[in-house]
Amino acid sequence: MVVEKIKKLENNQLETFNKEYVNEERWPIVKKMIDQSFPEGNFSFLDIGGGNGIFTDKILAHYPEAVGTLLDNAEVLLEMNKSHPRKKLILSSAENLNDIFNNQNFDVIFFNWVLHHFVAETYWQTRKTQNEILMQAQSILSAKGYISIFENMYVGALFKNLPSHLIFNLTSNKKLAPVTKIFGANTAGCGVCFLSDSTWKQEISKTNLHIVNYEEFPKWKINILRQILLHIGSVRVGHFWLKRG
Ligand SMILES: C[S@@+](CC[C@H](N)C(=O)[O-])C[C@H]1O[C@@H](n2cnc3c(N)ncnc32)[C@H](O)[C@@H]1O
């Protein structure tokens, strides 16, 4: 039996992910990078943590030659997927990529707001897990393949990655869960591990991937109390397009 170390949210927490993350503002960067990388539009892709399937369906609708696999460990979200002749669904955790796809590779692997959910027992085990999964993904990329990552970049006012530690420690603490819930943390009691953009760049430099493109979206408005408590300088969505080698 495979022992999974990534912690899983409760169903009521997972259900809040039933929305469209790659919206009209964010879709153009994905489309631009795919069009540049696969002008013929025929590519295979893996959507890790693809949840309700809205993003996978969008890719399939825009690229009639593309074939997609969506992997998620939340049954409650997988069940929300519409069926599609070019879509395959897999119920599993991302830490099992190499076992599941040992004979298969993909032209694009998407990590849309999922890397920060690869939470293990401690902060540093979590960071190791994020790195291991990126390494696994890299090993199942085709020679012409790319990895696409959307993340919320939490940048500290002075110490760039301090919000990452603070948010992880507060949200993963079970005793504090009733309080962190009140402060709006959907991951209360389980944990979440956002990083700053520069820390993600360091993580990427530890792999055999290089950054082809990095795009940032507008800064979010953050409540002043939250800003002070979490040492936040800025928060914004960032998108990486990575290639092997
Ligand atoms: C914030 S949602 C993003 C959903 C989707 N990627 C999108 O952009 O619309 C996070 C998703 O990651 C999934 N997830 C969390 N941990 C996972 C794991 N270990 N393996 C696979 N999927 C996971 C959740 O079930 C959820 O669908």
Per-residue pLDDT of the chain (245 residues; tens, 9 = 90+): 455 789 989 899 999 999 999 999 999 999 999 999 999 999 999 999 999 999 999 999 999 999 999 999 999 999 999 999 999 999 999 999 999 999 899 999 999 999 999 999 999 999 999 999 999 999 999 999 999 999 999 999 999 999 999 999 999 999 999 989 888 899 999 999 999 999 999 999 999 999 999 999 999 999 999 999 999 999 999 999 999 88
- Residue 179's pLDDT is 87
Domain containing residue 74: CATH number: 3.40.50.150
The residue among 139, 162, 164, 142 whose CA lies nearest residue 151 is 164
Note down the domain range covering 97.
Answer: 11-152+195-219+237-244
Cα angle vertex 16, ends 32, 215, to 5°?
25
Separation between Cα atoms, residue 159 and residue 232, nearest integer Å: 9
Those residues whose C-beta lies under 8 Å from the C-beta of residue 33, and which sit 6 or more positions away, are 146, 148, 212, 213, 241
- Residue 62's pLDDT is 98
Q: How many whole angstroms from 33 Cα to the centroid of ligand 1?
A: 22
Q: Is residue 230 one of the residues assigned to a domain? A: no
Helix intervals (H) in 2-141: 11-14, 27-37, 54-62, 75-78, 97-100, 123-139
Confirm or reject: Cβ of 55 under 6 Å from ligand 1. Answer: yes
Helix axes of 123-139 and 162-172: crossing angle, nearest 10 degrees: 110
Q: Is residue 107 one of the residues assigned to a domain? A: yes
C-alpha dihedral over 154, 164, 110, 76, to 10 degrees?
A: -110
Confirm or reject: Cβ of 51 under 6 Å from ligand 1. Answer: yes
Cβ(59)–Cβ(51) below 8 Å: no
Counting from 1 in the atom list of ligand 1, the atom nearest the Cα of 20 is 9
Instruction: Name the domain count of the chain.
Output: 1
Q: Is residue 25 one of the residues assigned to a domain? A: yes
Q: Which residue's alpha carbon is at the smallest distance from atom 9 of ligand 1? A: 21
Q: How many helices (H) and strands (E) does the chain have?
A: 10, 7
Confirm or reject: Cβ of 114 under 6 Å from ligand 1. Answer: yes
Confirm or reject: Cβ of 53 under 6 Å from ligand 1. Answer: no
Q: Is residue 168 one of the residues assigned to a domain? A: no
- How much is the pTM? 0.96
Q: Is residue 34 one of the residues assigned to a domain? A: yes
Q: Is residue 47 one of the residues assigned to a domain? A: yes
Q: What does each C-alpha distance from 139 to 89, 106, 109 come to in angstroms?
A: 21, 10, 11
Cβ(34)–Cβ(63) below 8 Å: yes
Q: Is residue 184 one of the residues assigned to a domain? A: no
Separation between Cα atoms, residue 236 and residue 238, nearest integer Å: 6
Q: Is residue 135 one of the residues assigned to a domain? A: yes
Confirm or reject: Cβ of 117 under 6 Å from ligand 1. Answer: yes
Tally the residues of the chain.
245
3 burial class (0-12, 13-18, 19+ CB within 10 angstroms)?
exposed
Confirm or reject: Cβ of 49 under 6 Å from ligand 1. Answer: yes
